[in-house]
């Protein structure tokens, strides 16, 4: 078994065609077929069912593909990081989600540049989860995102929590209410804009309890009561999750491509939405931004980078962030990447 055989198998498995795999890899069909056959012979396992069109993976092939694809992705990440260690970039490539651009990011970058005049800064608009692969590939060195990640290659620092505000059309009946409740907003159309969803939440303790409860209910012939936690565990859309945490489900929702479109629809009177407080400077002639009474309805801001390769200027960037927080009187806990 060698790397060339594995890459040939991955290409065939993904494209389900020898001819398509040959075009992508630049390897002739006979050579691809030979590499696959050698791999199957070495393993003494049939990985591809050749009698179907398009080609299909056997049960063993499906298992092998899942595991090997992850390993090859990891190998690519290791290769990129090794290359960067041998020739680190002099510039600092920063990924960011658009919502932080309307907050303190411009001030942070300006402060960083003043203190690191010899460092070229490159900014890239990229979603929170795309930033993880971009960090591994070397496309960015550090990223500002809104979601926590559980990835063995990544380390994160929670910079702060930003309060959500409700954005309402100026003509909305609640537009002048200074302290808003989620319950009062449930009858309005909620405009959803996140392209990234929360990871599925699984509580093993609650699962074990559910299994025990199920067994008891069978013995006693009782109808089990629904668990409140299961509602929020099944909701992954970020705004809907905030409502679900308070036991509320909006009656009507609309889904749009991004936050700017969502605010455009709010301005047109088509619904309401929730946005981080830094966005309250947008479309102020048409939109009323009001505070929510719920202190836990917040949007976190994370800074993340690789665990095993930290760009020399990343901690200088973190220092600039904390300087701006102190100037603005923002509460934070000082941390460093290690």
CA pair distance 32, 310, nearest whole angstrom? 39
Confirm whether pTM is higher than 0.85. no
Q: What domains are there in the chain, each with its CATH number?
A: 3-86 (1.10.10.10), 94-159+304-328 (3.40.190.10), 162-197+230-298 (3.40.190.10), 199-228 (no CATH)
pLDDT (mean) for 179-205: 80
pLDDT digit string, tens, across residues 148-170 = 888 888 999 999 999 999 999 99
Q: How do residues 52-110 score in pLDDT, each as one tens digit?
A: 778 889 989 889 888 888 888 778 777 777 776 666 667 899 999 988 988 899 999 99
In order of 17, 37, 270, the CA distances from 43 in angstroms are: 21, 10, 60
Cis-peptide into 53, omega within 30 deg = no
Beta bridge partners of 96: 125, 144
**Residue 142 contacts by C-beta under 8 Å, 6 or more apart in sequence?**
92, 93, 94, 95, 135, 303, 304, 305, 311, 314, 317
The region, left, alpha or beta by phi > 0 then psi within -120 to 50, assigned to residue 154 is beta
Q: Using CA atoms, how far apart are residues 5 and 2, in angstroms rounded to an integer?
A: 5
Mean pLDDT, the chain, as a whole number?
Answer: 85
User: What is the C-alpha to C-alpha distance for residues 314 and 309, in angstroms, rounded to an integer?
Assistant: 10
């Amino acid at each position: 078994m060698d790397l060339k055989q594995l890459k040939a198998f991955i290409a065939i498995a993904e494209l389900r065609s020898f001819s398509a795999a040959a075009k992508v890899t630049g390897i002739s069909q006979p050579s691809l077929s030979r590499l696959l056959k050698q791999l199957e012979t070495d393993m003494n396992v049939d990985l591809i069912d050749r009698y179907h069109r398009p080609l299909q993976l056997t049960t063993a092939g499906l298992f092998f593909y899942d595991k090997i694809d992850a390993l090859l992705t990891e190998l690519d990440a290791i290769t990129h990081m090794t290359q960067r260690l041998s020739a680190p970039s002099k510039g600092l490539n920063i990924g960011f989600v658009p919502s932080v651009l309307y907050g303190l990011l411009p001030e942070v970058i300006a402060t960083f540049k003043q203190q690191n005049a010899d460092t070229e800064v490159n900014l890239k608009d990229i979603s929170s989860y795309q930033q993880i692969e971009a960090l591994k590939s070397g496309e960015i060195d550090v990223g500002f995102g809104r979601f926590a990640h559980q990835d063995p290659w990544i380390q994160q620092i929670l910079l702060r929590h930003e309060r959500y505000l409700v954005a309402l059309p100026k003509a909305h009946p609640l537009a002048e209410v200074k302290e808003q409740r989620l319950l009062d907003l449930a009858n309005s159309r909620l405009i959803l804009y996140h392209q990234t969803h929360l990871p599925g939440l699984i509580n093993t303790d609650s699962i074990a309890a559910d299994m025990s409860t199920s067994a008891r209910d069978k013995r006693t012939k009782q109808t089990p009561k629904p668990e409140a936690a299961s509602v929020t565990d099944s909701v992954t859309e970020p705004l809907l999750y905030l409502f679900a945490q308070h036991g509320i489900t909006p009656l009507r929702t609309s889904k749009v491509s991004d936050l700017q479109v969502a605010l455009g629809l709010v301005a047109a009177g088509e619904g309401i939405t929730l946005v981080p407080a830094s966005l309250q400077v947008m479309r102020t002639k048409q939109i009323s931004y009001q505070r929510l009474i719920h202190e836990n309805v917040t949007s976190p801001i994370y800074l993340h980078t690789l665990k095993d390769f930290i760009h020399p200027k990343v901690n200088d960037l973190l220092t600039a962030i904390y300087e701006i927080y102190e100037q603005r009187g923002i509460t934070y806990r000082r941390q460093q990447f290690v």
